[in-house]
Amino acid sequence: MDRLLGRLQHYDWGSHTALAALRGLEPTGRPEAELWYGAHPSLPATVDRGAGPEPLDAVVSADPSSELGPAAGLRDGALPYLVKFLASDAPLSIQAHPDRATAEAGFAAENDADVPLDSPKRTFRDARAKPELVVAVTPFRALCGFRPVDEAIGVAAALGLPDDLMAPLRERGPVAWPDVVARVLAGDPDGAVDALVERCNGKVAGKWTTTADLLFELSVRFPGDAALALVPLLAEHRLEPGEALFLGPGVLHAYLSGVAVEVMAASDNVLRGGLTGKHVDVDRLVGIIDPEVPATVVQRPARGVHRYDTPAEEFSVWRLEGAGVDVDDRSGPDIVVCIDGLASLSSIGASAGARLEVPPGGAAWIPYADGAYRLDVEGLAYRVTVGGPGA
C-alpha cells in the first residue's frame, strides 16, 4: 500500500480555500477546483516506492497484473476509475457525459481530423464513457436531470419562457426533451433570454422564487447565455454531507456550489451546452441526451459502513464513518480517501505487517497484489474499488 499524492486543477470556478482547508495546508492563492487521485494520463497522481515520485499510470502500465489484478481487463490494462475532490465557488457548465459508443466514435473522428488532444476545441479527450457518482462533503447544490413534464411546463409558464420552446414537450411528452434542449441552445434572436432574466430579477413570487433567484444569479456570471433558459427546466438538488447522486450517460447536469467527492470512470469526456467559457458542442450534446432515463434519486447513507448504488462496472464506492472492516474479497485495486479524522490501513493475512495512516484530504493506493487489509476509520473515509457484486 502506498501514499497517493493528488494533483490539483486550477479551474476558475474553484474555491480558493476549501481544498487547502480540507488538507490542512495554506492556500496556493489560485482557485483550487479539483484534486485528482487516479491514473488518467492527463493528470496522474503519484506514488513513491523509494525511487522518487512516479506517475500512477506509469506504475500501473509497468505491471498491470500486480497493480490491477482481474480489473486489468476492464480498460485494457488501465485503472478503470478516477477519484476527485471537487470544490466549487461558482457554477460549472451545463453538460452531459457520453456513453461508450459515442465516446469511441467521437474520439476516432477527432483523431482523424487531426484535432490535438490538448486543443480547446476538442470534445473527446479519450474513447471512454464517463458514468459518475458525486458525494457531498459539505452542503452541495446541483442541477441534475429534467423536471417532470408537468412541472417543467408550469415553471416555464410562470417565468415566461416562450411557448414555442415548450411546444414539443406539451405535444410528445418526455421523449421531446432533446428537441427542447436543441431549441433553447439554438440561440436567442428574439431576446427571450434577456426578457427571462429581467422577469427573474425580483418579479417572481410563490413556489418558483428560488428558481428565479438562481437563474438571475447565473445570468450575472453568464450574461446573454442561451443555456440560462435550461436552468428552470432542470431538477435542483441540495445534498447534505454524505448524500449522493449517480449520473449515467446522457444526463444533463450542472454543479453549482460546494465540496464533494467525485468517483467516475477514468475519462475526461465532457460535452458542454453553455454557462461556460470552454468549448461547447451543442449538436453532440443534444445527440446524447437520454430522455428515458429515470429521475435522479438522492442516495442517503446509513451510519457505519454503507455502499452506494453504482451500477457502473468501472467503480463502486463505500462510505465508512467511525467503522472498521476487513477487506478480503478483492477484485481489483482500491483507493481510500479520508475526509475527517484518520483512516488507518494495515495488511492482514500473508502480507501482514504493512501499515499506512491517511489524514484528511489524503489518499492511499492499495494494489491488488497487496491482498487483504484492515481499514479502520476514526472519522470519515471513502473506499473506492472496481464495480461488481462482491466489490
Distance CA 343, CA 347 (A): 13
Distance CA 318, CA 326 (A): 13
CA distances for 89 relative to 23, 34, 188, 390, angstroms: 18, 12, 28, 37
- Please state at what angle helix 192-200 crosses helix 149-159, rounded to 10 degrees: 80
Would you tell me how many other CB atoms lie within 10 Å of the CB of residue 107? Answer: 21
* 261 Rama class: left (phi>0) / alpha (psi -120 to 50) / beta: beta
Catalytic site residue 272? yes
Cα dihedral: 352, 358, 362, 363 (round 10): 20
135 with 261: CB under 8 angstroms? Answer: yes
Q: Please choose, from the candidates 130, 123, 74, the residue with its C-alpha nearest in 3D space to the C-alpha of residue 98.
A: 130
Parallel, antiparallel, or unpaired: how do β-strands 140-146 and 46-48 relate? unpaired
Distance CA 318, CA 310 (A): 10
Distance CA 218, CA 20 (A): 26
Which residue out of 272, 319, 330, 383 is catalytically annotated? 272
Active-site positions read 272
